[in-house]
Structure 1
Amino acid sequence: MRRFLSALCVTLLLSTTALAAAPEKITIGVTPFPHGEIMEVVKGLLAKEGYELVIREFSDYVTPNSALAEGSLDANFFQHVPYLENTCAEKGFDLVWVAKIHIEPLGLYSEKIKDYRDLKKGDSIAIPNDGTNCARALRLLEANGLIKVKEGELVTALDVVENPKNLKFIELDAAQLPRTLKDVTAAVINTNFASEAGLIPSKDALLIESGDSPYANVVAVRAESVETPAVRALVKAATSPEVKAFIEEKLVPKGIVPAF
Protein backbone atom coordinates (compact mmCIF):
# COMPACT_ATOMS: atom_id res chain seq x y z
CA MET A 1 0.00 0.00 0.00
CA ARG A 2 2.85 2.35 0.88
CA ARG A 3 4.49 1.70 -2.47
CA PHE A 4 1.17 2.34 -4.23
CA LEU A 5 0.62 5.59 -2.37
CA SER A 6 4.20 6.70 -3.05
CA ALA A 7 3.84 5.97 -6.77
CA LEU A 8 0.51 7.80 -6.81
CA CYS A 9 2.04 10.84 -5.13
CA VAL A 10 4.90 10.91 -7.62
CA THR A 11 2.45 10.64 -10.53
CA LEU A 12 0.32 13.48 -9.15
CA LEU A 13 3.40 15.61 -8.54
CA LEU A 14 4.67 15.08 -12.07
CA SER A 15 1.24 15.83 -13.52
CA THR A 16 0.96 19.03 -11.49
CA THR A 17 4.44 20.10 -12.53
CA ALA A 18 3.66 19.45 -16.20
CA LEU A 19 0.46 21.50 -15.98
CA ALA A 20 2.26 24.34 -14.24
CA ALA A 21 4.92 24.35 -16.95
CA ALA A 22 2.45 24.35 -19.84
CA PRO A 23 3.07 27.50 -21.90
CA GLU A 24 0.39 30.18 -22.10
CA LYS A 25 -1.03 30.52 -25.61
CA ILE A 26 -1.19 33.79 -27.51
CA THR A 27 -3.22 33.60 -30.73
CA ILE A 28 -2.38 36.21 -33.33
CA GLY A 29 -4.02 36.80 -36.71
CA VAL A 30 -1.80 37.74 -39.65
CA THR A 31 -1.81 38.08 -43.40
CA PRO A 32 0.83 35.73 -44.84
CA PHE A 33 3.57 38.03 -46.14
CA PRO A 34 5.51 39.50 -44.46
CA HIS A 35 3.51 39.35 -41.26
CA GLY A 36 3.53 35.57 -41.00
CA GLU A 37 7.29 35.36 -41.55
CA ILE A 38 7.96 38.01 -38.93
CA MET A 39 5.74 36.27 -36.40
CA GLU A 40 7.60 33.00 -36.92
CA VAL A 41 10.69 34.78 -35.57
CA VAL A 42 8.63 36.18 -32.69
CA LYS A 43 7.28 32.69 -31.99
CA GLY A 44 10.75 31.37 -31.26
CA LEU A 45 11.54 34.27 -28.94
CA LEU A 46 8.27 33.90 -27.02
CA ALA A 47 8.84 30.17 -26.54
CA LYS A 48 11.90 31.05 -24.47
CA GLU A 49 9.69 33.18 -22.24
CA GLY A 50 7.12 30.46 -21.65
CA TYR A 51 4.53 31.46 -24.27
CA GLU A 52 3.21 29.51 -27.24
CA LEU A 53 2.43 31.83 -30.16
CA VAL A 54 -0.35 30.40 -32.33
CA ILE A 55 -0.32 32.06 -35.77
CA ARG A 56 -3.59 32.15 -37.76
CA GLU A 57 -3.42 33.35 -41.36
CA PHE A 58 -6.11 35.45 -43.04
CA SER A 59 -6.42 36.45 -46.68
CA ASP A 60 -8.37 39.66 -46.20
CA TYR A 61 -8.21 42.93 -44.26
CA VAL A 62 -11.64 42.67 -42.60
CA THR A 63 -11.82 39.42 -40.64
CA PRO A 64 -8.72 39.86 -38.42
CA ASN A 65 -10.17 42.92 -36.65
CA SER A 66 -13.59 41.32 -36.22
CA ALA A 67 -11.97 38.17 -34.80
CA LEU A 68 -9.86 40.22 -32.41
CA ALA A 69 -12.83 42.27 -31.22
CA GLU A 70 -14.90 39.10 -30.70
CA GLY A 71 -12.13 37.44 -28.70
CA SER A 72 -11.11 34.54 -30.94
CA LEU A 73 -7.73 36.27 -31.39
CA ASP A 74 -5.52 37.80 -28.71
CA ALA A 75 -3.79 40.12 -31.19
CA ASN A 76 -3.43 40.77 -34.88
CA PHE A 77 -0.69 42.02 -37.16
CA PHE A 78 -1.64 43.00 -40.69
CA GLN A 79 -2.64 46.67 -40.83
CA HIS A 80 -1.33 50.21 -40.53
CA VAL A 81 -2.47 52.77 -37.97
CA PRO A 82 -4.92 54.77 -40.15
CA TYR A 83 -6.69 51.56 -41.24
CA LEU A 84 -7.04 50.42 -37.62
CA GLU A 85 -8.35 53.80 -36.49
CA ASN A 86 -10.81 53.98 -39.38
CA THR A 87 -12.10 50.45 -38.72
CA CYS A 88 -12.59 51.15 -35.01
CA ALA A 89 -14.49 54.34 -35.83
CA GLU A 90 -16.75 52.52 -38.31
CA LYS A 91 -17.31 49.32 -36.33
CA GLY A 92 -17.11 50.58 -32.77
CA PHE A 93 -14.26 48.18 -31.93
CA ASP A 94 -12.17 48.96 -28.83
CA LEU A 95 -8.83 47.99 -30.38
CA VAL A 96 -5.48 49.73 -29.99
CA TRP A 97 -2.03 49.30 -31.46
CA VAL A 98 0.83 48.43 -29.13
CA ALA A 99 3.89 48.25 -31.43
CA LYS A 100 4.94 49.58 -34.82
CA ILE A 101 6.86 46.86 -36.67
CA HIS A 102 7.48 47.70 -40.32
CA ILE A 103 6.46 49.82 -43.29
CA GLU A 104 5.21 48.36 -46.58
CA PRO A 105 5.42 51.03 -49.27
CA LEU A 106 2.45 51.13 -51.62
CA GLY A 107 3.45 50.83 -55.28
CA LEU A 108 2.10 51.25 -58.81
CA TYR A 109 2.56 48.15 -60.99
CA SER A 110 1.78 47.33 -64.61
CA GLU A 111 2.14 44.57 -67.19
CA LYS A 112 1.38 46.98 -70.02
CA ILE A 113 3.68 49.96 -69.52
CA LYS A 114 7.27 50.37 -68.34
CA ASP A 115 7.06 53.93 -67.03
CA TYR A 116 4.19 55.71 -65.29
CA ARG A 117 4.69 58.63 -67.67
CA ASP A 118 3.52 56.32 -70.47
CA LEU A 119 -0.03 56.36 -69.12
CA LYS A 120 -2.39 57.59 -71.85
CA LYS A 121 -5.75 59.30 -71.77
CA GLY A 122 -8.51 57.01 -70.61
CA ASP A 123 -6.19 54.36 -69.14
CA SER A 124 -7.53 52.38 -66.18
CA ILE A 125 -5.90 52.13 -62.76
CA ALA A 126 -7.10 49.70 -60.09
CA ILE A 127 -6.78 50.90 -56.48
CA PRO A 128 -7.72 49.45 -53.05
CA ASN A 129 -11.35 49.93 -52.07
CA ASP A 130 -10.88 50.35 -48.31
CA GLY A 131 -10.91 53.95 -47.11
CA THR A 132 -7.35 54.47 -45.95
CA ASN A 133 -5.55 52.55 -48.69
CA CYS A 134 -7.74 54.13 -51.36
CA ALA A 135 -6.73 57.58 -50.13
CA ARG A 136 -3.13 56.46 -49.85
CA ALA A 137 -3.13 55.23 -53.47
CA LEU A 138 -4.59 58.49 -54.76
CA ARG A 139 -2.01 60.50 -52.82
CA LEU A 140 0.77 58.43 -54.38
CA LEU A 141 -0.52 59.26 -57.85
CA GLU A 142 -0.98 62.89 -56.87
CA ALA A 143 2.57 63.13 -55.52
CA ASN A 144 3.82 62.11 -58.95
CA GLY A 145 1.77 64.64 -60.90
CA LEU A 146 -0.84 62.33 -62.40
CA ILE A 147 -3.87 63.77 -60.64
CA LYS A 148 -4.87 66.31 -58.01
CA VAL A 149 -7.13 65.39 -55.11
CA LYS A 150 -9.01 67.67 -52.75
CA GLU A 151 -7.83 68.00 -49.15
CA GLY A 152 -8.89 65.44 -46.58
CA GLU A 153 -7.83 62.10 -45.13
CA LEU A 154 -10.31 59.58 -46.52
CA VAL A 155 -10.52 60.80 -50.10
CA THR A 156 -11.88 58.59 -52.89
CA ALA A 157 -11.85 58.68 -56.67
CA LEU A 158 -14.84 61.02 -56.44
CA ASP A 159 -12.55 63.59 -54.80
CA VAL A 160 -10.16 63.84 -57.77
CA VAL A 161 -10.36 67.48 -58.87
CA GLU A 162 -7.79 67.42 -61.68
CA ASN A 163 -7.30 64.46 -64.01
CA PRO A 164 -5.54 65.60 -67.20
CA LYS A 165 -5.33 62.08 -68.64
CA ASN A 166 -8.92 61.26 -67.70
CA LEU A 167 -7.66 58.15 -65.89
CA LYS A 168 -10.36 55.67 -64.87
CA PHE A 169 -10.16 54.37 -61.31
CA ILE A 170 -11.45 50.92 -60.40
CA GLU A 171 -11.77 50.29 -56.65
CA LEU A 172 -11.29 46.63 -55.64
CA ASP A 173 -10.44 44.53 -52.61
CA ALA A 174 -6.71 44.92 -51.95
CA ALA A 175 -6.03 41.17 -52.14
CA GLN A 176 -7.50 41.00 -55.64
CA LEU A 177 -5.37 43.77 -57.17
CA PRO A 178 -2.44 41.66 -58.46
CA ARG A 179 -4.90 39.57 -60.50
CA THR A 180 -6.23 42.66 -62.26
CA LEU A 181 -2.92 43.52 -63.93
CA LYS A 182 -3.95 41.62 -67.06
CA ASP A 183 -7.13 43.65 -67.34
CA VAL A 184 -6.13 47.19 -66.35
CA THR A 185 -3.31 49.48 -67.41
CA ALA A 186 -1.87 49.61 -63.91
CA ALA A 187 -2.75 48.93 -60.28
CA VAL A 188 -1.70 50.41 -56.96
CA ILE A 189 -0.91 47.39 -54.76
CA ASN A 190 0.08 46.90 -51.13
CA THR A 191 3.58 45.46 -50.81
CA ASN A 192 2.46 42.26 -49.06
CA PHE A 193 0.05 41.33 -51.86
CA ALA A 194 2.53 42.43 -54.55
CA SER A 195 5.23 40.20 -53.06
CA GLU A 196 2.86 37.24 -52.78
CA ALA A 197 2.23 37.65 -56.52
CA GLY A 198 5.96 37.46 -57.27
CA LEU A 199 6.49 41.20 -57.75
CA ILE A 200 9.59 42.84 -56.27
CA PRO A 201 8.68 46.37 -55.11
CA SER A 202 12.17 47.80 -55.42
CA LYS A 203 12.44 46.44 -58.97
CA ASP A 204 8.94 46.21 -60.44
CA ALA A 205 7.08 49.21 -59.01
CA LEU A 206 6.72 52.13 -61.44
CA LEU A 207 6.03 54.37 -58.44
CA ILE A 208 6.57 53.65 -54.76
CA GLU A 209 5.95 55.49 -51.51
CA SER A 210 8.92 57.14 -49.84
CA GLY A 211 10.54 55.61 -46.78
CA ASP A 212 9.00 58.21 -44.46
CA SER A 213 5.48 56.91 -45.06
CA PRO A 214 3.32 57.23 -41.91
CA TYR A 215 1.65 53.89 -42.62
CA ALA A 216 3.58 51.64 -40.24
CA ASN A 217 2.15 48.14 -39.78
CA VAL A 218 1.28 47.48 -36.15
CA VAL A 219 0.45 44.79 -33.63
CA ALA A 220 -3.08 45.46 -32.36
CA VAL A 221 -4.89 44.11 -29.29
CA ARG A 222 -8.10 44.73 -27.38
CA ALA A 223 -7.75 47.82 -25.19
CA GLU A 224 -8.53 45.80 -22.08
CA SER A 225 -5.49 43.57 -22.56
CA VAL A 226 -2.78 46.17 -23.17
CA GLU A 227 -1.17 45.78 -19.76
CA THR A 228 -1.33 41.99 -19.51
CA PRO A 229 1.95 40.08 -19.19
CA ALA A 230 1.25 38.20 -22.43
CA VAL A 231 0.85 41.40 -24.47
CA ARG A 232 3.94 42.94 -22.87
CA ALA A 233 5.90 39.81 -23.79
CA LEU A 234 4.54 39.92 -27.35
CA VAL A 235 5.55 43.57 -27.78
CA LYS A 236 9.02 42.93 -26.38
CA ALA A 237 9.60 40.03 -28.76
CA ALA A 238 8.10 41.79 -31.80
CA THR A 239 10.37 44.82 -31.34
CA SER A 240 13.48 42.85 -30.44
CA PRO A 241 16.90 43.19 -32.10
CA GLU A 242 16.37 39.71 -33.56
CA VAL A 243 13.22 40.77 -35.39
CA LYS A 244 14.81 43.98 -36.63
CA ALA A 245 17.80 42.03 -37.95
CA PHE A 246 15.44 39.60 -39.72
CA ILE A 247 13.57 42.44 -41.44
CA GLU A 248 16.78 44.16 -42.48
CA GLU A 249 18.35 40.98 -43.84
CA LYS A 250 15.38 39.20 -45.42
CA LEU A 251 12.74 41.84 -46.14
CA VAL A 252 14.46 45.12 -46.97
CA PRO A 253 15.43 43.72 -50.41
CA LYS A 254 11.72 43.17 -50.99
CA GLY A 255 10.85 46.78 -50.19
CA ILE A 256 9.90 46.34 -46.52
CA VAL A 257 11.67 48.38 -43.85
CA PRO A 258 11.60 48.23 -40.03
CA ALA A 259 9.65 50.88 -38.14
CA PHE A 260 11.41 50.56 -34.78
Structure 2
Amino acid sequence: MLILLPPSEGKTAPRRGAPLDLAALSSPVLTPARERLLDALVGLSSGNETEAATVLGLGPSQLDLLTRNAMLRDAATARADRVYSGVVYDALGAATLSAAAKRRAASRVAVVSSLFGLVRLGDRIPAYRLSGDATLPGVGPVAGVWREALGPAVVEALGRGLLVDLRSSTYAAFWRPDRDLAARTATVRVLHEVGGTRKVVSHFNKATKGRIVRALMEDGRDPRTPAALAEVLRDLGWTVEVGGPGAKGTQLDVVVSEL
Protein backbone atom coordinates (compact mmCIF):
# COMPACT_ATOMS: atom_id res chain seq x y z
CA MET A 1 0.00 0.00 0.00
CA LEU A 2 1.14 3.51 -0.84
CA ILE A 3 -0.76 6.50 0.58
CA LEU A 4 -0.39 9.83 -1.24
CA LEU A 5 -0.88 12.97 0.85
CA PRO A 6 -1.00 16.61 -0.25
CA PRO A 7 1.61 18.95 1.22
CA SER A 8 0.64 21.70 3.65
CA GLU A 9 0.61 25.33 2.60
CA GLY A 10 2.15 26.25 5.95
CA LYS A 11 5.52 24.79 6.86
CA THR A 12 7.76 24.83 9.91
CA ALA A 13 11.21 26.13 9.00
CA PRO A 14 13.99 24.05 10.59
CA ARG A 15 16.23 26.07 12.90
CA ARG A 16 19.23 23.85 12.26
CA GLY A 17 20.18 20.95 10.04
CA ALA A 18 22.23 20.02 7.00
CA PRO A 19 21.55 21.94 3.78
CA LEU A 20 19.40 20.50 1.04
CA ASP A 21 20.92 17.55 -0.83
CA LEU A 22 18.71 16.59 -3.76
CA ALA A 23 20.78 13.46 -4.37
CA ALA A 24 19.83 12.16 -0.92
CA LEU A 25 16.07 12.36 -1.47
CA SER A 26 14.03 9.28 -2.28
CA SER A 27 12.87 8.70 -5.87
CA PRO A 28 16.12 9.89 -7.53
CA VAL A 29 14.41 9.59 -10.93
CA LEU A 30 12.86 12.96 -10.05
CA THR A 31 16.19 14.78 -9.55
CA PRO A 32 16.21 16.53 -12.96
CA ALA A 33 12.70 17.94 -12.42
CA ARG A 34 13.59 18.94 -8.87
CA GLU A 35 16.69 20.78 -10.08
CA ARG A 36 14.71 22.59 -12.74
CA LEU A 37 12.02 23.79 -10.35
CA LEU A 38 14.49 24.67 -7.61
CA ASP A 39 16.55 26.81 -9.97
CA ALA A 40 13.42 28.58 -11.21
CA LEU A 41 12.06 29.21 -7.71
CA VAL A 42 15.35 30.48 -6.30
CA GLY A 43 15.85 32.73 -9.34
CA LEU A 44 12.35 34.15 -9.15
CA SER A 45 12.56 34.77 -5.40
CA SER A 46 15.95 36.46 -5.74
CA GLY A 47 14.71 38.96 -8.35
CA ASN A 48 11.95 41.52 -8.56
CA GLU A 49 9.98 41.39 -5.32
CA THR A 50 6.68 42.51 -6.80
CA GLU A 51 6.81 40.00 -9.64
CA ALA A 52 7.81 37.15 -7.33
CA ALA A 53 5.06 37.95 -4.83
CA THR A 54 2.48 37.98 -7.59
CA VAL A 55 3.61 34.67 -9.08
CA LEU A 56 3.72 32.98 -5.67
CA GLY A 57 0.49 34.50 -4.38
CA LEU A 58 2.10 36.30 -1.45
CA GLY A 59 0.59 39.23 0.41
CA PRO A 60 2.51 42.18 1.88
CA SER A 61 2.96 40.38 5.22
CA GLN A 62 4.47 37.31 3.57
CA LEU A 63 7.43 38.82 1.75
CA ASP A 64 9.83 37.16 4.18
CA LEU A 65 9.00 33.91 2.35
CA LEU A 66 10.83 35.27 -0.69
CA THR A 67 14.02 35.45 1.36
CA ARG A 68 13.43 31.90 2.52
CA ASN A 69 12.96 30.71 -1.07
CA ALA A 70 16.03 32.57 -2.30
CA MET A 71 18.18 30.70 0.25
CA LEU A 72 16.74 27.23 -0.34
CA ARG A 73 19.96 25.59 -1.49
CA ASP A 74 21.71 26.55 1.75
CA ALA A 75 18.75 26.44 4.13
CA ALA A 76 18.57 24.00 7.03
CA THR A 77 16.55 20.85 6.42
CA ALA A 78 14.53 18.49 8.60
CA ARG A 79 12.38 15.42 8.10
CA ALA A 80 9.42 16.17 5.86
CA ASP A 81 6.98 15.09 8.57
CA ARG A 82 8.39 17.87 10.77
CA VAL A 83 8.42 20.52 8.04
CA TYR A 84 4.87 19.99 6.79
CA SER A 85 2.34 21.35 9.28
CA GLY A 86 -1.38 22.03 9.29
CA VAL A 87 -4.54 20.04 9.88
CA VAL A 88 -3.63 16.83 8.03
CA TYR A 89 -0.23 16.55 9.66
CA ASP A 90 -1.44 17.52 13.13
CA ALA A 91 -4.05 14.75 12.91
CA LEU A 92 -1.48 12.27 11.60
CA GLY A 93 0.88 13.08 14.49
CA ALA A 94 3.84 11.26 12.97
CA ALA A 95 6.12 12.02 15.92
CA THR A 96 3.82 10.18 18.34
CA LEU A 97 3.25 7.04 16.26
CA SER A 98 4.41 3.78 17.80
CA ALA A 99 7.77 2.45 16.64
CA ALA A 100 6.11 -0.13 14.39
CA ALA A 101 3.74 2.45 12.91
CA LYS A 102 6.65 4.79 12.17
CA ARG A 103 8.38 2.02 10.23
CA ARG A 104 5.23 1.40 8.23
CA ALA A 105 4.75 5.11 7.54
CA ALA A 106 8.31 5.36 6.23
CA SER A 107 7.50 2.90 3.44
CA ARG A 108 3.75 3.40 2.96
CA VAL A 109 3.24 7.18 3.04
CA ALA A 110 4.45 9.82 0.57
CA VAL A 111 3.72 13.51 0.07
CA VAL A 112 3.15 14.97 -3.39
CA SER A 113 5.12 18.22 -3.35
CA SER A 114 5.12 21.09 -5.83
CA LEU A 115 8.89 21.48 -5.45
CA PHE A 116 10.14 17.92 -4.87
CA GLY A 117 7.53 15.74 -6.54
CA LEU A 118 7.31 12.68 -4.31
CA VAL A 119 8.62 13.04 -0.75
CA ARG A 120 8.90 10.36 1.91
CA LEU A 121 8.26 11.38 5.51
CA GLY A 122 11.92 10.84 6.38
CA ASP A 123 13.31 12.87 3.46
CA ARG A 124 15.12 15.98 4.67
CA ILE A 125 13.75 19.13 3.06
CA PRO A 126 13.75 22.87 3.80
CA ALA A 127 10.61 24.96 4.30
CA TYR A 128 9.59 26.55 0.99
CA ARG A 129 6.70 28.44 -0.58
CA LEU A 130 5.43 27.15 -3.91
CA SER A 131 1.78 26.34 -4.47
CA GLY A 132 0.75 23.53 -6.77
CA ASP A 133 -1.14 25.91 -9.06
CA ALA A 134 1.81 28.28 -9.59
CA THR A 135 3.35 29.05 -12.98
CA LEU A 136 7.08 29.75 -12.82
CA PRO A 137 8.86 31.96 -15.37
CA GLY A 138 10.92 29.87 -17.78
CA VAL A 139 9.32 26.65 -16.60
CA GLY A 140 5.57 27.06 -16.93
CA PRO A 141 2.91 25.48 -14.72
CA VAL A 142 4.33 23.40 -11.88
CA ALA A 143 1.63 20.80 -12.53
CA GLY A 144 2.86 20.43 -16.10
CA VAL A 145 6.40 19.65 -14.96
CA TRP A 146 5.19 16.91 -12.65
CA ARG A 147 2.65 15.55 -15.12
CA GLU A 148 5.61 14.54 -17.27
CA ALA A 149 7.86 13.25 -14.48
CA LEU A 150 5.89 11.98 -11.49
CA GLY A 151 4.27 8.83 -12.84
CA PRO A 152 7.34 6.55 -12.94
CA ALA A 153 8.29 7.52 -9.37
CA VAL A 154 4.82 6.71 -8.04
CA VAL A 155 4.65 3.42 -9.90
CA GLU A 156 8.09 2.41 -8.62
CA ALA A 157 7.22 3.34 -5.04
CA LEU A 158 3.90 1.51 -5.21
CA GLY A 159 5.00 -1.83 -6.59
CA ARG A 160 2.05 -4.26 -6.68
CA GLY A 161 0.16 -2.77 -3.77
CA LEU A 162 -2.93 -0.60 -3.38
CA LEU A 163 -2.65 3.12 -4.13
CA VAL A 164 -4.61 5.22 -1.62
CA ASP A 165 -4.96 8.70 -3.06
CA LEU A 166 -5.70 11.37 -0.44
CA ARG A 167 -4.45 14.31 -2.52
CA SER A 168 -6.43 17.49 -2.90
CA SER A 169 -7.59 18.40 -6.42
CA THR A 170 -4.63 20.74 -7.02
CA TYR A 171 -2.10 18.00 -6.41
CA ALA A 172 -4.18 15.27 -8.04
CA ALA A 173 -3.67 17.25 -11.26
CA PHE A 174 0.08 16.52 -11.10
CA TRP A 175 -0.47 12.91 -12.16
CA ARG A 176 -3.33 10.46 -12.53
CA PRO A 177 -3.12 6.66 -12.71
CA ASP A 178 -3.63 4.93 -16.02
CA ARG A 179 -6.52 2.52 -16.53
CA ASP A 180 -4.68 -0.54 -15.19
CA LEU A 181 -3.45 1.25 -12.08
CA ALA A 182 -6.86 2.85 -11.46
CA ALA A 183 -8.19 -0.66 -10.87
CA ARG A 184 -6.09 -0.82 -7.70
CA THR A 185 -6.48 2.80 -6.64
CA ALA A 186 -8.77 4.06 -3.89
CA THR A 187 -9.62 7.75 -3.63
CA VAL A 188 -11.10 8.99 -0.37
CA ARG A 189 -13.72 11.69 0.09
CA VAL A 190 -14.79 12.81 3.56
CA LEU A 191 -18.42 13.90 3.89
CA HIS A 192 -19.72 15.79 6.91
CA GLU A 193 -23.31 14.77 7.64
CA VAL A 194 -25.66 17.01 9.64
CA GLY A 195 -29.41 16.50 9.74
CA GLY A 196 -29.31 14.12 6.82
CA THR A 197 -27.40 16.56 4.61
CA ARG A 198 -23.88 15.74 3.48
CA LYS A 199 -21.20 18.10 2.26
CA VAL A 200 -17.43 18.37 2.02
CA VAL A 201 -16.01 20.62 4.74
CA SER A 202 -12.31 21.40 4.42
CA HIS A 203 -11.36 21.07 8.08
CA PHE A 204 -13.28 17.80 8.55
CA ASN A 205 -11.81 16.49 5.30
CA LYS A 206 -8.21 17.23 6.26
CA ALA A 207 -8.43 16.13 9.89
CA THR A 208 -10.18 12.88 9.03
CA LYS A 209 -7.65 12.01 6.34
CA GLY A 210 -4.82 12.55 8.82
CA ARG A 211 -6.55 10.33 11.36
CA ILE A 212 -7.18 7.66 8.74
CA VAL A 213 -3.47 7.50 7.88
CA ARG A 214 -2.53 7.34 11.56
CA ALA A 215 -5.03 4.55 12.24
CA LEU A 216 -3.89 2.54 9.23
CA MET A 217 -0.25 2.80 10.27
CA GLU A 218 -1.03 1.72 13.83
CA ASP A 219 -3.30 -1.10 12.65
CA GLY A 220 -0.68 -2.54 10.33
CA ARG A 221 -2.92 -4.36 7.86
CA ASP A 222 -2.02 -4.00 4.18
CA PRO A 223 -5.25 -4.13 2.13
CA ARG A 224 -4.79 -4.93 -1.55
CA THR A 225 -8.08 -3.69 -2.99
CA PRO A 226 -10.34 -0.67 -2.44
CA ALA A 227 -13.02 -2.98 -1.01
CA ALA A 228 -10.54 -4.48 1.44
CA LEU A 229 -9.47 -0.99 2.49
CA ALA A 230 -13.11 -0.07 3.12
CA GLU A 231 -13.46 -3.11 5.38
CA VAL A 232 -10.36 -2.16 7.36
CA LEU A 233 -11.65 1.39 7.82
CA ARG A 234 -15.02 0.06 9.01
CA ASP A 235 -13.23 -2.20 11.50
CA LEU A 236 -11.43 0.93 12.73
CA GLY A 237 -14.72 2.69 13.38
CA TRP A 238 -15.52 4.71 10.26
CA THR A 239 -18.69 4.69 8.18
CA VAL A 240 -17.55 3.97 4.63
CA GLU A 241 -19.50 3.74 1.39
CA VAL A 242 -17.84 2.26 -1.69
CA GLY A 243 -18.54 3.70 -5.12
CA GLY A 244 -18.04 2.09 -8.49
CA PRO A 245 -14.66 1.97 -10.26
CA GLY A 246 -13.80 5.01 -12.35
CA ALA A 247 -10.98 6.57 -14.32
CA LYS A 248 -9.35 7.88 -11.12
CA GLY A 249 -9.96 4.71 -9.10
CA THR A 250 -12.68 3.56 -6.74
CA GLN A 251 -14.09 6.31 -4.55
CA LEU A 252 -14.58 5.62 -0.85
CA ASP A 253 -16.87 8.05 0.96
CA VAL A 254 -16.06 8.33 4.65
CA VAL A 255 -19.06 9.86 6.42
CA VAL A 256 -18.50 11.74 9.68
CA SER A 257 -20.89 13.67 11.91
CA GLU A 258 -18.38 15.30 14.26
CA LEU A 259 -14.73 16.26 14.18
Q: In which range does the TM-score fall when normalised by the shorter chain?
A: under 0.3
Bigger CA radius of gyration: 1
TM-score, reference length from structure 1: 0.25
TM-score, reference length from structure 2: 0.25
